[in-house]
Every structure is written in structure tokens, then in C-alpha cells.
Amino acid sequence: MTHILIIGAGRSSAVLIDYLKKYAASAPVKLTIADADIEIAKAGAGQVSENICGIRLDIFDANQLQNKVQEADVVISMVPPAFHPVIAGVCLQNRKHMLSASYVPEEIMKLSSQAEEAGILILKECGLDPGLDHMTAMAVISRIKEAGGELLSFKSFTGGLVAPESDNNPWNYKFTWNPRNVVLAGQGTAQYIESGNYKYIPYHKLFTRLEPISVEGLGEFEGYANRDSLIYRQLYGIENIPGLLRGTIRKKGFCSAWNIFVQLGMTDDSYEIKGLEAMGRRDFLDSFLPFSDKFSVEEKLCGYTGIPGGGEEFEKIKWLGLFDKEPLKIRKGSPAQVLQHILEEKWKLQPQDKDMIIMQHKFRYLLKGEQKEIFSSLVCVGDDALRTAMAKTVGLPLAIATRLLVEGKIRRRGVCIPVFPDIYLPILEELEKEGIKMTEQEPG
């Protein structure tokens, strides 16, 4: 009997756990769901059975982690990314396969030859983004290459958004994943290539350089560039492509309002705000505006940033309560942490809410002297606030990869991401059965 250990049973693991529980019910598989909170682990396991259980596991207890990994054959890590190297090291010591949805840090990439020698697979970036973005892009890129086509441009955008039926605030946005990552998104310099020219966007300009995106049946969106698109040339085997841009999708109008916070410095996470315990929301906003005893906070904001009073950006900021005197409930933190605290109250996904994932790829290529295009899009809507679209698109690829590995259908070893057809093709085929599928259009 193959023993699968899932470490981390929080909200993002719900669909992953459901899939593997169903699998364990009909296959010779034992499933252990571990979490630092035993109640969360037990809730994930559900009714205790002979081959499914929930346990408490403290990954910082080296002996306990060692023992639980030794008992398993395959380990799925759903802990925060910073802790994956710890789990990867223990898996390598004990010759156990490891899978996760997070990016490959350099620390784990260095383990590749050792993992190969140990006969184990460490599969990373097998979630949504990274994960589904790799797999769906490679499926089309490979097809174009096999037909003798030459890629001229590849643009890819992904976003975790709120479904239309739950979209009831002026930002057209609610948190569907880690709020901290949303607040800090884009910091650094974005790099991409267009028509053979390298392009760079500094953070303070990122939310003003936008790509228009149209999604059939859902309306107009906008995309801003991710930090480094250039690394994907090598990953995808398209080193000579003249145009490559990857980015994040938001509803049209979001970025111009978010840019106000960026320009004011409210997304800065490098220092601690002084006097926070005596501040209200209005005071917090005012602390980033020039001093004046003649003008109101509203007037100073408009004058300093150039937005019109009563305009869309102004109304979005007003809706967040930043003009209100309501005391802050956070007593210590950076500007980014305070802003996150305020946003978590206003952008919280309610129990009845549904989220939505949108992914869109645009390929332009040359075939037999003729320029062609392919638009490939994915829209996934969550069932509820637990089994979200985010949980589906992160958890299902990882769960399917685990099943394929257990069944001996993935033979690759070492540290990998799913850019190889022997990994991504069967995963994409199974995802279609789960209702997650890209639809393609060829304009013109």
C-alpha cells in the first residue's frame, strides 16, 4: 500500500484532499493529512477510516518530521514556500518523493542530481501559477513547433478574481489567495521582451503600463507585467522568441486606483509606522500626504496625486474607509501591513461568495510564411468560499500528478517542473474530466 502524506491542510488544500480521499477509497493507498492544527487536519480527513487519517505535525520538530516522512512514500508540501527546503531535505534523506505547487527556490534546485541519484522526484510548480500556466503554454508551444511554426510572440496573463455573482464592491476584487502577496505584488522591476527589444518597468510605473484583455462573456480586464518574464524563454525552450510577456489580470480600473497606494508609499514593507496606536484610518492616509492645516485629507489626496474628487479612484479609496476616523485595529506594522489589515476587512471573501480564475495565453507565430494567432483561455469559478477556483486550480494538478506518480505513469526523477510532455499531457487530460480546460480561438 502506497502511503501519501499531505503536510498542510489549510483552505488551499481542500480540493487536493478531496481528490486524494476519493482516490484512496478505491486504490491501495493510505492517506495521512497533517497540519500544525489537529482540528484542521481532522476536518480535512473527515470520518476516520482504515486508510485515511488526520494528525498533528509540527514541521519544526525535526524528530517528528523525520518520523512522519519515513512512514510515507510520497510527501505533498502545502506549507508556506519558505519552509519547503526543510521538507525537501528530509525527503531526500529518506528517499521519498516530494510534490508542491510553489516556485523552485535555488536551494531546492541544487538538490536535483542528488534526488536523481536517490531515485526520487521532487516536482515543484505544479499548481496554478506556477503550474497550469506552464502546462497549458507548453501544450500549444509544442504543437506549433511540431507543425514547423516559428513563435514570434507569447503573452500570458493569470488572475485570481471574484466571480461576477459575488462582485459587489467598486474595486471588483476580493482576496482569493495570500493577501500579503497581493499587497506586495510587483515590487522590483518588471522585465520582458517585445519585438526583439528588452523592456523594463520600474515598480513606480508598473500599474500605469497595462495590457488590455478581453474575456468573452465577462468583459474588459487589464494586465500588468510580472517581475521577470525573460526566465521563461529557457524554461519553455523558446530562447529566440522576439516577444514574451507574462502578467497578472485585474478587472479594468483596478490598477489606476491601486497605483495611488504605490505612489504614496503605502505598499512599502521596509519600515515600521510610528505612532500607529493613536491613528485612525484617516490619520494613516494623511501620514503619506503633505502637511497642511488649510486643506482636508480629501483635498490633499486629490491635489497631490492628481485624481479628481468623486472620480473612480477617489470613490474606491473612499469605499475602503480611508477617509473615516475609525481607529485602526493594528498596533504595529509597516505601511504594507497596515494597508493589508484594512483591505482584509473590506475584501474578505464571504462564505456565500465565489471566486474566479482567469488565464489567457496569446500566441503569434509564423507558419509557411503566414502569420497566425492562437488565443487560449481558461475560466474557472469556485463552488464556495472553501472549494474555491483557486483551490481547484492549485490542488487538482498537484493531486493528479501525485496519482500518476503513485501509479508509475510519471517516471522522471530529480527536481522538475511540469514542462515535459510526459508530465503535463496526462495532467491536462485528467483536468478536462474535472471541468478545467483551455478553450482556443484562432482570430482571422
Kindly report, residue by residue over 273-317, the tens digit of the pLDDT. 999 999 999 999 999 999 988 999 999 999 999 999 999 999 999
Query: Mean pLDDT, the chain, as a whole number?
Result: 94
Q: DSSP state, 280?
A: B
**% pLDDT > 90, the chain:** 88
Q: Which residues of 333-345 are buried (b: 16+ CB within 10 A; e: fewer)?
A: bbbbbbbbbbbee
| Burial of residue 294, with CB atoms counted within 10 A of its CB: 0-12 exposed, 13-18 middle, 19 or more buried | exposed
Point out which residues pair with 243 in neighbouring strands: 153
400 pLDDT higher than 90: yes
Distance CA 224, CA 364 (A): 20
437 pLDDT higher than 80: yes
141 pLDDT higher than 80: yes
Question: Which residue, among 391, 338, 390, has the nearest Cα to 183 in the 3D structure?
Answer: 338
Cβ-based neighbours of 436, under 8 Å, separated by 6 or more = 132, 378, 380, 392, 393, 396
1 pLDDT higher than 90: no
Q: Are strands 370-381 and 439-441 parallel, antiparallel or unpaired?
A: antiparallel
Kindly report, residue by residue over 17-60, the tens digit of the pLDDT. 999 999 998 899 999 999 999 999 999 998 767 889 999 999 99
Kindly report, residue by residue over 115-130, the tens digit of the pLDDT. 999 999 999 999 998 9
Instruction: Please report the pLDDT score of residue 421 as a whole number.
Output: 96
Residue 275, classed as helix, strand or coil, is coil
**% pLDDT > 70, the chain:** 100
Instruction: Please report the pLDDT score of residue 443 as a whole number.
Output: 75
- Contact at 8 Å (CB) between 292 and 247? no
* Secondary structure element (H or E) that encloses residue 99, with its range: strand 97-100
Distance CA 253, CA 312 (A): 8
Instruction: Please report the pLDDT score of residue 434 as a whole number.
Output: 92
398-408 average pLDDT score: 97
379-393 average pLDDT score: 91
Question: Which residue, among 155, 102, 166, 133, has the nearest Cα to 356 in the 3D structure?
Answer: 166
Distance CA 436, CA 249 (A): 18
pTM: 0.91
Residue 443: φ, ψ to 5°: -55, 145
- Contact at 8 Å (CB) between 123 and 99? yes
* Secondary structure element (H or E) that encloses residue 246, with its range: strand 243-251
CA dihedral 162, 168, 172, 176 (to 10 degrees): -30
319-323 average pLDDT score: 96
175-202 average pLDDT score: 93
Long-range contacts (CB closer than 8 Å, 24 or more residues apart) made by 141-147: 141/236, 141/237, 141/238, 141/363, 142/421, 144/363, 144/365, 144/367, 144/374, 147/367
CB atoms within 10 A of CB 395: 26
Instruction: Please report the pLDDT score of residue 295 as a whole number.
Output: 92
Distance CA 133, CA 46 (A): 32
Instruction: Indicate if the alpha-carbon torsion angle 340, 346, 348, 354 is positive or negative.
Output: negative
Cβ-based neighbours of 144, under 8 Å, separated by 6 or more = 151, 363, 365, 367, 374
CA distances from 197 to 7, 12, 141, 200, 233 (A): 44, 39, 21, 10, 14
Instruction: Please report the pLDDT score of residue 444 as a whole number.
Output: 63
Residue 238, classed as helix, strand or coil, is coil
Least confident span in 92-96, 215-219, 298-302, 416-420: 215-219
SS3 assignment for 155-223 = EEEEEEEECHHHCCCCCCCCCCCCHHHHHHCCCCEEEEEECCEEEEEEHHHHCCCCEEEEECCCEEEEE
Kindly report, residue by residue over 200-253, the tens digit of the pLDDT. 999 999 999 999 999 988 999 999 999 999 999 999 999 999 999 999 999 999
